[in-house]
């Protein structure tokens, strides 16, 4: 499978600050990247889908001005949580896929745990 | 009704047991079916991928898809304590967006 990294693996920040999370596809070109959020003991909730070089598509209920996504290259996507609040504390996971593989499976990063104080 | 239903468990079995994990779904357009394993505080890891109906085996793991019943299964033979994790089923059509089950928490005790 593909190798996907995320940085940082965990972050603690004060309420009102912004936090940037990086997602890197290390061994193949990721035409599409996905950002998920996962609360304790719950399944993954898709936040947005981003295609390289174009604007992200956000799921219903996800504020695009609060969760800024940039997918400037085939190996890097970033998620910025702006003006973070305690309710934004969660586990954020990215995944990558490549349509050239002929099927639409996804490979996940290790996740970033965000705690907002 | 959710598109994908999965019993959250927990499922507790002794080491060496055969484990059966299942999901049902409602959308007959789904064609690609996956099983992911997620350890606590880690990202999901792709275990098995199946296209359309049929069986697929990989070591101790067997994935089955029955499209007529809209039912998929993952079997784990000779289960080990290291198999203790949450198992997520996922599926999609010809698009990238995956639809996940809620996950089943499995505990294998020695």
Q: pLDDT tens, B36-78?
A: 999 988 999 999 988 888 899 999 999 999 999 999 999 999 9
pLDDT of residue A30: 82
Residues of chain A in contact with residue B90, where contact means CB-CB under 8 angstroms, are: 106
Q: Give pLDDT, residue B95.
A: 66
Q: Which pLDDT does position A104 carry in this prediction?
A: 61
Close Cβ partners of A97 (under 8 Å, ≥ 6 residues apart):
A30, A31, A32, A33, A34, A104, A105, A106, A107, B96
Q: Between B41, B88, B97, which is nearest A49 by CB?
A: B97
Contact B102 A111 (CB under 8 A): no
According to the model, what pLDDT value does residue B96 have? 63
A74 vs B81, more confident: B81
Look at residue B57 in the predicted model and tell me its pLDDT.
Answer: 95
What pLDDT, on the 0 to 100 scale, is given for residue B98? 87
Which residues make beta-bridge pairs with B73? B22, B64
Best mutation target among A9, A40, A43, A114 (most B Cβ atoms within 10 Å) is: A43
Which percentage of chain A shows pLDDT scores above 70?
A: 93
Distance CA A52, CA A33 (A): 8
- Name the pLDDT band for B15 (thresholds 50, 70, 90): very high
Find residue B97's DSSP bridge partners.
none
Chain A stretch 32-71, residues whose beta carbon is closer than 8 A to a beta carbon of chain B: 32, 34, 42-44, 46, 49
pLDDT of the residue at B35: 96
Buried/exposed A60-85: b ≥16 CB within 10 Å, e otherwise: eebeeeebbbebeebbebbbebeebe
Residues of chain A with pLDDT under 50: none
Give percent above pLDDT 90 in chain B.
76
Chain A residue whose CA is closest to B46: A107
Residue A85 near chain B (CB below 8 Å): no
Cβ contacts of B32 within 8 Å, gap of 6 or more: A103, A104, A105, B49, B50, B51, B91, B92, B93
* Contact status of A4 with chain B (Cβ, < 8 Å): yes
Q: pLDDT category, B17, cuts 50, 70, 90?
A: very high
Rg over CA atoms, chain A = 13
Cβ distance A34 to A106 under 8 Å? yes
Q: Report the C-alpha gap between A18 and A39 in whole angstroms.
A: 20
d(CA A25, CA A52): 12
User: Which residues fall within 8 angstroms of residue B45, CB to CB, at 6 or more apart?
Assistant: A1, A108, B36, B37, B38, B39
Q: Is the pLDDT of residue B34 over 90?
A: yes
Distance of residue A15 Cα from the nearest chain B Cα, in angstroms = 23
């Amino acid at each position: 499978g593909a190798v996907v990294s995320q940085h940082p693996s965990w972050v603690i920040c004060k309420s009102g600050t912004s936090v940037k999370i990086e997602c890197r596809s290390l061994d193949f070109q990721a035409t599409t990247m996905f950002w998920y959020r996962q609360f304790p003991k719950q399944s993954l909730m898709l936040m947005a889908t981003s295609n390289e070089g174009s604007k992200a598509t956000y799921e219903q209920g996800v504020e695009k001005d609060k969760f800024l996504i940039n997918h400037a290259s085939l190996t890097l996507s970033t998620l910025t949580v702006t003006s973070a609040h305690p309710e934004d504390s969660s586990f954020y996971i990215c995944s990558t896929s490549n349509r050239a593989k002929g099927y639409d499976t996804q490979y996940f990063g290790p996740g970033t745990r965000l705690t907002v104080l | 009704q959710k598109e994908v239903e999965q019993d959250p468990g927990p499922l507790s079995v002794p080491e060496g047991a055969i484990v059966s994990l299942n999901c049902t779904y409602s959308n007959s357009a789904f064609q690609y079916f996956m099983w992911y394993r997620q350890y606590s505080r880690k990202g999901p890891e792709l275990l098995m991928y199946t296209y359309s109906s049929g069986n697929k085996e990989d070591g101790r793991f067997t994935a089955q898809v029955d499209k007529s019943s809209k039912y998929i299964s993952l079997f784990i033979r000779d289960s080990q304590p290291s198999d203790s994790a949450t198992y997520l089923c996922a599926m999609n059509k010809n698009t990238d967006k995956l639809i996940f089950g809620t996950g089943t928490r499995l505990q294998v005790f020695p």
